[in-house]
Amino acid sequence: MRIIAGKYRSRRLSSLKGLTLRPTSDRLRETLFNVLGELVIGSRFIDAFAGTGAVGIEALSRGACEVIFIEKHASAVALIKKNLETLDVRTDTRVLATDVLRGLQILAEEGSAAGKPREILFLDPPYDNAADYDRVLSFVGSSTFFSDGAVIIAEHRHKLDLSEAVENLQRVRVLRQGDASLSFYRRVKDSAENSAGGQ
Give residue-wise pLDDT tens across range 1-54. Answer: 889 999 999 898 888 765 455 677 888 999 999 999 999 999 999 999 999 999
Give residue-wise pLDDT tens across range 72-120. Answer: 999 999 999 999 999 999 889 999 999 999 999 999 888 654 556 678 9
Q: Measured between alpha carbons, how far is 70 from 49 in angstroms, rounded to an integer?
A: 6
Give residue-wise pLDDT tens across range 163-173. Answer: 999 999 999 99
Average pLDDT value over all residues in the chain: 87
pTM: 0.89
* Angstrom distances, CA of residue 14 to CA of 98, 163, 164, 172, 180: 21, 34, 35, 33, 22
Quickly list H helices, the chain. Answer: 26-36, 54-61, 74-86, 100-109, 130-142
Q: Which of 13, 70, 86, 6 is nearest to 38 (CA)?
A: 6
- The half-sphere exposure of 112 on its side-chain side, counting CA atoms within 13 A, is 7
Least-confidence region, from 57-71, 102-116, 122-136: 102-116
Which of the following CATH numbers is that of domain 26-196: 3.40.50.300, 3.40.50.150, 3.30.413.10, 3.40.1110.10?
3.40.50.150
Domain extents for the chain?
26-196
Residue 177 has a CB neighbour count (10 Å cut-off) of 15
Residue 172 has a CB neighbour count (10 Å cut-off) of 15
pLDDT > 50? residue 133: yes
Least-confidence region, from 45-49, 65-69, 86-90, 151-155: 86-90
Q: Measured between alpha carbons, how far is 154 from 147 in angstroms, rounded to an integer?
A: 18
Burial class of 155 by CB neighbour count within 10 A (0 to 12, 13 to 18, 19+): buried
Q: What is the mean pLDDT of residues 156-181?
A: 91
pLDDT value of position 55: 96
Q: What is the mean pLDDT of residues 122-146?
A: 89
Distance from chain centroid for Cα 50: 8
